[in-house]
Structure 1
Amino acid sequence: MSGISTSSPPLFRSLAPKISTSFPSPPSPPLPSLPLSLPKTHSRRIVAMAMSGTRIPTASLEYMVVKPPSHPTYDLKSVIGLALSEDAGDRGDVTCLATVPVDMKAEAHFIAKEDGIIAGISLAEMIFNEVDLSLKVEWSQKDGNYVHKGMQFGKVYGYARSIIVAERVALNFMQRMSGIATLTKAMADAAHPACILETRKTAPGLRLVDKWAVLIGGGKNHRMGLFDMVMIKDNHISIAGGVTNAMKSVDQFLEEKNLQMPVEVETRTLEEVKEVLQYAAQNKTSLTRIMLDNMVVPLPNGDVDVTMLKDAVTLINGRFETEASGNVTLETVNKIGQTGVTYISRWIFFWLDPSHS
């Protein structure tokens, strides 16, 4: 992947080279000076610089080229609110309150510090809108675009206090998302024709953000959580007394509860693959995908042996989707992708270290 740095995620910095308290046109009414300590019942205490009132963060559809995944119990508004609250605490930015005039305005530029795929532009715009709706945010790039080191790709103009409150939270998300998207792009290109998936091994509380970054980078999402897909793994198989018993229990449960959802079963040997196929041939089943776990065998010379994986794919012969898992790195993913598997999964925590599986 020429030009893409996989040793570290793209980093971004926000500059404010143009700071002025005078305006060519009449200025907007300044934000009220907020006290250092706000009552716990204050609806906007999470951001002491923000305008009062509850709003749903929004972003221009022009820049949201990839829609975020959804979750039934929380959303991006919750993620943004927690991040701002974590930063502001119960007093807000005391340094800004002490040093930055309430009516001062500034323009901050977003500049790439590494080559890579930019991600988090839409989320950053939501954050700026949540802090202060009067901020004007402009972008020259969209999520998923390739940026070069030193490229200015966006700017925000408005009250300096509001910009300073929002910018670090926005940059933290953009740095993480851009790192994930950059490596996802490299791995997705190398894995073709197989598709790259992430797993549930995401940063706690950031699953929506991490999975969104994977989509922006050209990957696909695995299950969101424990609720939207049945995934029969080794622990379930051991407790149930074998692959057949586990699959039979799942099919009975789904029928009793009148549930329709994808079902995946983990296999670790060719014998287990054969057992799954035999069960599916003899029973009505909801099975949709077979995981082929650790069938990519590392060799002493750093290469991998994919013979077992190929044999498993041949046995399945297109009857079910297949997913390769284990020993997946930027160096091995191309060879794995040529075996005929449908998907290749890798957990996000180590996507920022491409040498780790």
Structure 2
Amino acid sequence: MKAVIFKETGKYAVVEKPVPEIKKANELLVKVEACSICGSDMHILSDPPGYPAKPGTTIGHEMVGTIVGMGSEVTAFAVGDRIVCDNNIPCGQCYYCRSGHANMCEHVRCLGVNGDGFFAQYALIPDTSAYAISPDLPLDIAIFAEPLNCVMGAMDKLRMIPGETVVVVGAGPIGLYFIQLLKKNGAGTVIAAEPSEFRRRMAKEVGADIVVSPAEAEKLPQIAAVGADIVVDAVGICIKDALDWVRSSGRVLLFGQNFARTQEICQSVITRKELTVTGSYIGSYSWHDTIRLLEHDPMQLEKMITHRLTLEDFAVGYDAMKDGSALEVILYPNGGRC
């Protein structure tokens, strides 16, 4: 089969690999119908890397697939079932796994990072990581399950009060999910701060009330007078702006990640303003809610897809993500819509 691997720092390759074989009783062999390029994949391929990965690993962690084979002890699924997958596989034994915080697992295995992921025609996953999804849900909606699940986990931490003003820093795919979910949860005013004109237009289309460049944000009356009730950093390098733009006793949610970047802040700002600063890392027990949302409560997701490509054309999608002309790049490893 064809697969895209992380070769070495800053480099990938489209290669031929053997179709994986079921070796454990709880494994599923999945035919990958669609997979998508995430910002985390771009961080893996950056130089220096913004996210660590193991050389030789098939990258990619967002997918929709069909089960084509199963281990002898699988009982919750059948061949032909359509599934999405949680690529983060906790050990189930460490303190965090046993205290209800499996997303903090000390020994987590991440498919697409240190285990083979989904930029391939077939993938092998444990049945505990699979979630059934309706066969009637369009493929180009189902593909959003994994990243949307992560944002759903963050929304659960926010516990937003209807009518609050929220600034979302960054209008890439993650920021656009936040904008839509914040409006669904009753946000009074959602402000998107984004340097790219292309992404600002998309933020407006999916529901942001006010869209500005970061340089203009601090001049807005909603921020200059008092500050926003909540600021969400969907980029991973904007904590200083978040601390400046949030009101006293407000909340800052840090979501984006970039291990290659650091920021300098004045801790006294947090103390003096009595801020609540919360980190959110992947989704935690929010998969069923996410799938229910996708199946029953339409969102503006398909319009975010800018590229539909074959696996062999991965370079086209990678370059578009790198130069900022793409939002969502969907790959179809086994053919289908392109």
- Which structure has the larger Rg? 1
> Which structure has more helix as a fraction of its residues?
1
TM-score, normalising length: structure 1: 0.26
Q: TM-score, normalised by structure 2?
A: 0.27
Higher strand share: 2
